[in-house]
């Protein structure tokens, strides 16, 4: 596995494209164009990045895909009514769409979990094509799809059955909890899978994964 410095050097352009620039565009255009206009500006950037990468034959980062899904959902909701239910429905729709994106990527044999992993960790070609790792990312995509859809369903139930104060209080704990639990399961699952497959992880300046 690459060193932490190599991972940071590899991942920061993806974070910049998928998260930082859309956020800067949204904040920059918020006063000038309003919420909907600012969302459209950020969405236009994400769509442009996807179009550019597809036309140049380069891979589309997973963070850009997820950012585009989220921005599209928020823009659609922003064009609807201004009720508090619709307002709080925005992140719920995004979570559900993210879950669907993970789920759809599995039968296409292009797991979104693998894209996200490659955004942050530059696996070498031999490692990335290893059957064990490819199978792991397919199953991990199913896990993310399941937890995202459960999270969205639970949030929708809260939204429709609880008062605003109760909803915000519970959601502030359950939202991060779903993410932390999923990440924890993924890390432990990966380590266990590697161990049972006869591999050990080594971190260094080069991308190595040595068999024990």
Total of domains in the chain? 1
- Domain span at residue 118? 4-196
Nearest 10 degrees: Cα torsion 110, 116, 117, 123: 70
In a domain, 205, yes or no: no
Q: What is the pLDDT of residues 3-44, one digit of tens each?
A: 667 767 777 777 788 778 888 888 888 778 877 788 788 889
In a domain, 66, yes or no: yes
Region of residue 69 (left: phi > 0; alpha: psi -120 to 50; beta: else)? alpha
In a domain, 19, yes or no: yes
In a domain, 212, yes or no: no
* pLDDT classification of 133: cutoffs 50, 70, 90: confident
Q: What is the pLDDT of residues 186-206, one digit of tens each?
A: 878 877 877 777 776 666 554
In a domain, 204, yes or no: no
In a domain, 163, yes or no: yes
Contacts of 126 (CB under 8 A, 6+ apart): none
Tokens 């266990």 sit on residue: 192
In a domain, 202, yes or no: no
In a domain, 16, yes or no: yes
């Amino acid at each position: 596995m690459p060193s932490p410095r190599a991972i940071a050097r590899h991942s920061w352009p993806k974070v910049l494209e998928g998260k930082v620039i859309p956020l800067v565009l949204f904040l920059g255009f918020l006063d000038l164009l309003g919420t909907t206009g600012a969302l459209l500006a950020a969405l236009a950037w994400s769509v442009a990045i996807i179009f550019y990468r597809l036309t140049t034959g380069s891979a589309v980062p997973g963070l850009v895909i997820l950012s585009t899904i989220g921005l599209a959902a928020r823009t659609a909701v922003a064009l609807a009514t201004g009720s508090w239910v619709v307002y709080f429905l925005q992140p719920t729709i995004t979570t559900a769409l993210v879950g669907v994106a993970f789920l759809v990527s599995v039968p296409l044999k292009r797991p979104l979990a693998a894209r996200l992993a490659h955004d942050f960790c530059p696996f070498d070609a031999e490692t990335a094509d290893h059957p064990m790792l490819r199978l792991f990312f397919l199953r991990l995509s199913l896990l993310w799809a399941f937890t995202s859809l459960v999270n969205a369903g639970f949030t929708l139930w809260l939204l429709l059955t609880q008062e605003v104060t109760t909803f915000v209080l519970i959601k502030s704990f359950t939202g991060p909890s779903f993410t932390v639990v999923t990440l924890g399961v993924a890390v432990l699952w990966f380590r266990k899978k590697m161990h049972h497959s006869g591999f050990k992880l080594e971190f260094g300046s080069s991308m190595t994964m040595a068999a024990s």
